[in-house]
Amino acid sequence: MDQTGGPTFDVPTGRRDGLTSNLRDADVLPDAADSINVLRSSFAAAGLNDRDLVLLTAAHTVGTTACFFVKDRLYSFPLPGGKAGSDPSIPAAFVTELKARCPPGDFNTRLPLDRGSESDFDDSILRNIRSGFAVIASDAALANSNATRALVDAYLGPAAGSFERDFAAAMVRMGSIGAITGDDDGEIRDVCSAFNTN
């Protein structure tokens, strides 16, 4: 177990690094404001399923986010009649709490992704999602699909004992997306942050 209490797992070796870097490659990564339909589609396009989506979202049990990624849910969420305000799916007391931490114009203050348990790997993020206390919209979106909501409920109920094992398996699957192997493409870098010079 690491310092957060999360699971340890073996990572397959032999993956090669590409020889080009392109900022546009990041366009396919999930965004904090993505709807459940967009999330499910992007995960499916990468060969991942709804279970992987729920499990990999649960990685947000550790860490923080900037107010920049929360501001639209607090101040400019589209409401009926062309108005804008706070996302009505967020409990009122939590809206007040978030607004106190992220006042208008403050984009850089950081707050926990997992309210009340940001330093420990546990199922608290799933409990927060189920109860409406997800901080970012993409986490909250898991409650907007019968399929993903059922998986959240399962990991807080009958499947709770398999949460860590399944999370580790999902991490390995994610790490295999677009893997370059063999000798013809890419390289195994001597220094992770730089292309090899020879």
Residue set of the binding site for substrate: 30
Q: What angle do CA 69, 156, 159 make, to 5 degrees?
A: 125
Residues annotated in a binding site for heme b? 60
Q: Which amino acid is at 118?
A: E
Residues annotated in a binding site for Ca(2+)? 61, 114, 122
Under 8 Å between Cβ of 112 and 4: no
Residue of 77, 48, 68 lying closest to 148 (CA atoms): 48
Residues annotated in a binding site? 30, 60-61, 114, 122
Write the CB contacts of 147 (distance below 8 Å, at least 6 apart in sequence): 40, 50
